[in-house]
Structure 1
């Protein structure tokens, strides 16, 4: 039986646990039933049903987890809701679905969570449609079904509303699911960053130690709510009255935990009893130790917190801060509250947190809120992006990431949120080859030529096409953040350069060329070195109103000592009056004096231009329409490997290949299928076991069930006319999940990594852009008089491969090489596919933490 348990968020941001029902739940079901109101019983059972008969109870709690399934929602050891489906006959495509929620928890989104998980289980069991019977007066239940995003058919008969709807995931149902997810996650984070009151565990009465430091920072930062140190014996701690337990007061939303790891379970229990909504665990000694005991302790911490409805920041974290006037929360190890501003900052690293905050203040970059997640046992950067999306105090999102917990979700959120708020991320450069790690390793002899995945440039392009400004260093993170926080976005890439040093303006021009920016006609404009600040500002003001300029780069060198009066030497004030007044972004390199707050100032022209180039790339992305994911049409015939549009010929019996693949799957081995154009020899690599399958015994219709669902569309052929050789591939990227690569064939392009990359699935615009993106792409458009190839056919192939990568997680890697592109279409001469246990793709499952 597959374990389908999950911690889930309700619409109010609290956590509960969902799991499959067990026979021993009988007492809990009876207890829940006893708490139902008469109306709830009547609406669920169509009768008073005051108690559950023993025969019904046994049937309720005993299911086969296939044709009959049931989930319970529990908080702690209390069952709050139950949902179930029952198949309407052997092999029937329909199942009847029903659920009931305890009165005190109705209206908090439990019904929609149950429906999502029941539908996923039913789909896996081969069902395609749910039916339900609801009383007309049960408007709440009718709304749950109507709002789920499915195409619901309603029919009224015999005093009951009969509902029927397909349960296949659709774009509409996913959008509904994701909207609910965003609201729930944002509300859960809001309780952490805008608490009514804070409890601090672990602050010593002596004033020494981490807990005492955080208590002092909370107190001195001006937190607007009550602060309660929790201490077993002291009367006062840090000048504040101490409590023996958080249960002695009401209104505590946040608990800061700085006790030894062995004492954390007791703190979690006390905070849970007090109704706390979130924990910030500064304590170390958990998974970061690399020990089994530390990992287990962290897992138990998260489990206990979720069971009590709480989110967890950390453990081993720096803390959280919110600079809003009505909050002023500094629950961090940093001794000062960050400067108030419009940037939200998430740091996975606790060790670097204080230094990062200090650097933000030195740059004059104000923050709306700050979260250091440490081990990231629960709250992640994805949660914070969900919160900042609708936070009116946040205009820019800054992320310091070491790993990606849910890469597909990150990419999805970035594409949506980046349309309204820029996201800047510095990510760890450590990347496993090809992203995916297969176990056991694939055969090196068979797969040496498979791609290693996106290189540094490819990764940057992946981020850019998801609307994320990816930078390589913390310094760049702040360089770009300052510009976005204080300056408008550029309307294009034309740059006006103004400076009083020819050497600096030439450096700026070279940096613009390197960064893909265009120096506007008539620039650089050099101001004489002896010119004063006002004369310089006049030239800059003219450039700021020049219609041929989209952005400004300003370089100021110091005048000769004694050459200018104090007023004429006040470049900072004069330049700020122009830089802060116009509608064009302005970056300044001043070797004279510090610029006022709001001016995007940098120590060198190279850093200034690099930040401007990153922002121009983001503005370009905003101007491009997002595109749509086309529907992949199916055809009837297929030969060997049919997987959303890929066929490997010839037509041969399939039984032995199917059996080998099934055996490999049971053993957990990856499976590699390789087809060469001539001779059509096939080989299945089963980890350490290799089977050579001849034409007489193998792979004719190896995966017909995939063909039935998705249909083919690309046939691997042996004898075809010549064309331009191309390569199409799929790998698993640690930041984006499955990604599709496209480039032209040949050793030189492989050596240079001349590939375009996009996360799957591909939109029509993604696919068209990929065909034109490689540096060798002019060969496809008719280079030196050659006839252009059918680039639309290449784009369609990329779309098909993208859908395969998105919807078939068992396809771990894929390579079509070569793909011969011609004016009349294309041919695939060689295909390599690695199949294995499906890679975890949590973003495609029902909502869960």
Structure 2
């Protein structure tokens, strides 16, 4: 997750889809940087330097430009192919202010290079303590003034000696990030159009043998009816599968939009180079033998990426199954799958070829369809982030479906998912996100969040992604979303012709967090008017086995009008003829149309049949059908959770008045050790407004100054006495803490404890005023995939025993912190369990948010364990804390 600021690397897609990358300037860039500046037009040079410099002056400038310390002076370059096409730098003017300047090659101006470099520089500057950028701009340099104004940063300008001085903060706020990501989206969509709307495709490695990947892929394109022009490339044949073939892509006389490559891995590099020289901008590489096979393959993949960057090409794969577009105007099946999926409204991306094949089979057997299929393979370039952005506004895609095995930049993924999930549902089947048995860490927090599935679940819930645990569940949710409105809440009515099935379904609904409320008196009265006397009309509604189509339609319509109901499960256990069963299905369809008009979804459980995940349909109107109550309940539960997530208002990350300068000094003084000393850790928390019980800390040399120590301890009253040592994690286990001591007794215990624990290198003793209340905990640990994870739960010695934990990926909003607390089983202890007085839950939520802010501000912090946090009527007081540091100049990926 950490990214060295003196090892900057950003891939950038320009507005027109061209790929460039940004990295730090190096001394060996002298000649190429000089070439950039010497080739600028007179106007661009004058805008940059206010007059045209001499060659000597330019050489002198370049020499200075390549010698930077990446703190007070920072330089970055934008590279296209082997060319430097942009240069940006800042130089500190004071502790918190720096001057920034840019130059972009004339042929790359107005394409987003300067704006991207400004964002990268601002991120570095913020980490280095630079709060304000200023730039001196000629009054006629309208392009540069526009760059600053359109960047997303709040800009101020004033005139000084005839020059416009532009000032802007370096903080990458949510608003600024959103502005950058809007620009990124335009570029991403333009780049992906070359894959999804190509007018010409070259199949390199095309074969007459359909058993070979190149042969099957070409055959699929022909049979599926691609509407563009296909150019087979085969060095040994004049025609392949009845189409004229070319020895190399360079021999094709026409422009090629997309190249699909299926040649041996050792030939891919040369072929990619030929594609670059030809001017191809999109590659799909089916060939295996890259990063998935070891070090040699990894190097080959790096070389492939280097070639793609050199020629501005985008890449899907390598080691993938290909891509498929079902749009009748495109009809592109550039895969070697045995059978294409039906046309539909699902955009699906998979990291696994095998899962991709299974998905295609499921799509067809369940009556669903795809708008796009993309096999990502090794994700060397194009990732699920890019596809989500493309599908966000794609008119042919209503549901986005992902199979994920890894994340590239989870922070960007989180922001993207939060935005897109408010428009279109994102379904994910995720596995293997982190290796089993991830690195164990010493504190409570680390051991609690080491289970990857727990972290992934928390992350997906946080960003609005619906996570499925199986293919059946994945397609069950998809079937629901494609046919039904989202439920308005979690109250479910169950209508059945079999009491036992109704009861089982009710049990499953409650297990997944749905409610089965009793129907209103008016609804029950209406049902009694036409149902048999032996029918149950409360909820579940058991119409009895004699119920036919008329009873189903009337009952469902009456229940749909009950104001307390958000969704309906119609259960049909077939005990009648096929003809009567069809009547019941039609009745359910008719009633569903009525319920849907009220904004209420209906799903059907068709017991005793083999129709799991399919539909009953009529004239384009469908109801999803399930065989088993557990799957139906899970699907409805997940969609209800998603619907409620969408109703949440957008929030900003909370901020507080804090003393960052003092906090930075405390951290800097502690970087010579892994774990911060306890007294320093408490000081750090206080800088961020955390409540800490009054305490006195004494080093071992101070501890034996009896009068001095006793005087301070007596002022505290009853205290907890704690040994302070890097080597002690669980104090209770070692007798390194004792509570409710006073005065001399406390001091005497401290001395004896130090002697008893001498093998643990005790550094000192803390005497802390006793705090009364509910013991909770707050923690942070760094996940290798998602970065910092904030956790909270029941505290004290029970934190690991009960595993009562909630987690979120930073940064978190106030409502997310509230959700974390309310989801705990121990929440009732905070609200007044069994007649106890309720405590200050808001203070506990505030403490979580302050830890979140501290973690966001200082990437040196890699682990925090506040346990216990004693919550009472007045405050949430951190009684014990461990903070682990790492000396780094890194910043978290934005």
Aligned to 1:662: none
Q: Which residue of 2 aligns with 1:710?
A: none
Determine whether 1:486 maps to 2:471. Answer: no
Distance, in Å, in 2 between the alignment partners of 1:757 and 1:253 is 45
Which residues of structure 2 form unaligned runs of 5+? 520-537, 667-678, 701-718, 730-758
Matches of 1:839 and 1:152, distance apart in 2:
28
Deviation at 1:328, TM superposition (A): 1.9
Question: Do the aligned partners of residues 265 and 652 (structure 1) sit closer, same or farther apart at CA in structure 2, a change above 3 Å counting?
Answer: farther
Q: Closer, same or farther in 2 for the Cα pair 1:463/1:70, shift >3 Å?
A: closer
Structure 1 segments unaligned to the other structure (5+ residues): 655-675, 697-715, 845-849
Q: Which residue does 2:497 correspond to in 1?
A: 500
Structure 2: distance between partners of 1:640 and 1:366? 59
> Within the alignment, does 1:288 sit opposite 2:292 as a pair?
yes
Shift of the 815–717 alpha-carbon distance from structure 1 to 2, 3 Å rule, reads farther
Question: SS in structure 2 opposite 1:273?
Answer: helix
Quote the offset at 1:19 in angstroms: 2.6
Offset at residue 447 of structure 1 (A): 6.8
Give the TM-score taking structure 2 as reference length.
0.82
Picking from 117, 128, 134, the partner of 2:131 is: 128
2-side partners of 1:190 and 1:32: how far apart? 31
CA contact (8 A) 2:574 2:581 kept: no
- Residue 735 of structure 1 and its aligned partner are, at CA, apart by 5.7
Measured against aligned partners, the alpha-carbon deviations of 1:727-763 in whole angstroms (never above 9, x if no partner) come to 1111234564322222222555633321222222222
**Aligned residue for 2:710?**
none
Note the alpha carbon deviations across 1:139-179, whole angstroms, 9 max, x for none: 22111111223332212244432222232333332232232
| 1:72 corresponds to | 77
Correspondence 1:344-359 to 2 at 5 A: 344-359=347-362
Name the CA shift for 1:448/1:16 in 2 (closer, same or farther; >3 Å): closer
Match of 1:795 in 2: 845
Cα deviation per residue 1:417-463 (whole Å; 9 max; x = unaligned)? 2222112212116655896x4xxx75x6x779953456856753442
The CA deviation at 1:651 is 5.8
1:207, distance to aligned residue in structure 2 (A): 4.2
Q: Which residue of structure 1 lines up, in the alignment, with residue 859 of structure 2? A: 809
Q: Of 851, 861, 878, which aligns to 1:828?
A: 878
Residue from 589, 608, 613 that aligns with 1:576: 589
The separation in 1 between residues aligned to 2:416 and 2:337, in whole angstroms, is 30
Hey, what does 1:640 align to over in structure 2? 680
Deviation at 1:402, TM superposition (A): 1.6
| Preserved CA contact (<8 Å) 1:434 1:732 | no
- Residue aligning to 1:187: 190
Q: Residues 777 and 799 of structure 2 are in contact (CA less than 8 Å); yes or no, is this contact kept in structure 1? A: no
Worse overlay, 744-753 or 317-326 = 744-753
CA contact (8 A) 1:576 1:596 kept: yes
Deviations 1:213-262 (A, max 9, x none): 11111222222222211222322222222223334344423211111100
> How far off is 1:831 after superposition?
0.8
Contact 1:11 1:109 in 2 (8 A): yes
> Can you list the C-alpha shifts for 1:265-324, whole angstroms capped at 9, x where unaligned?
0111111122222221111111222x2101111222122212321222111111112222
Match of 1:721 in 2: 771
1:580-618 residue CA offsets vs partner (Å, 9 max, x unmatched): 552321111224685435321122222112111110111
- The structure whose Rg is larger is 2
User: In the TM superposition, what is the alpha-carbon distance from 1:132 to its structure 2 partner?
Assistant: 1.4
1:101 aligns with 2:104: yes
Q: Cα distance, 1:203 vs. partner?
A: 1.1
Aligned to 2:234: 231
Check 1:81–1:776 CA distance in 2 against 1; reply closer, same or farther (3 A cut): closer
* Aligned counterparts of 2:423 and 2:297: Cα–Cα separation in 1: 40
The match for 2:415 is: 412
Is 1:81 matched up with 2:104?
A: no
User: Does residue 1:297 correspond to 2:300, yes or no?
Assistant: yes
Match of 2:540 in 1: 524
**Alignment length (residue pairs):** 789
User: Over aligned residue pairs, what C-alpha RMSD do you find?
Assistant: 3.1
Alpha-carbon contact 2:363-2:369 (below 8 Å) kept: yes
Between Structure 1 and Structure 2, the one with more helix by share is 2
Between 345-354 and 124-133, the greater mean CA deviation after superposition? 124-133
Which SS does the other structure have where 2:884 is aligned? strand
Question: How is 1:386-785 mapped onto 2 (pairs within 5 angstroms)?
Answer: 386-428=389-431, 431=434, 437=439, 451-453=448-450, 459-520=456-517, 521=519, 522-561=538-577, 566=579, 569-580=582-593, 582=596, 583-590=599-606, 591=608, 595-597=615-617, 598-634=622-658, 640-641=680-681, 642=684, 645=688, 650=696, 678-683=721-726, 692=761, 694-695=763-764, 718-733=768-783, 736-745=786-795, 750-785=800-835
Q: Match of 2:862, SS?
A: strand
SS in 2 for 1:36: coil
Deviation at 1:514, TM superposition (A): 1.8
CA offset digits 1:444-489 (Å, max 9, x no partner): 6x77995345685675344223211122112211111111111110
C-alpha distance 162-265 of structure 1, shift in aligned 2 (>3 A):
same
Distance 1:380 1:48, change over 3 A: same
Cα contact 1:571–1:592 (8 A) shared by 2? no
Q: Distance in 1 between matches of 2:244 and 2:426?
A: 42
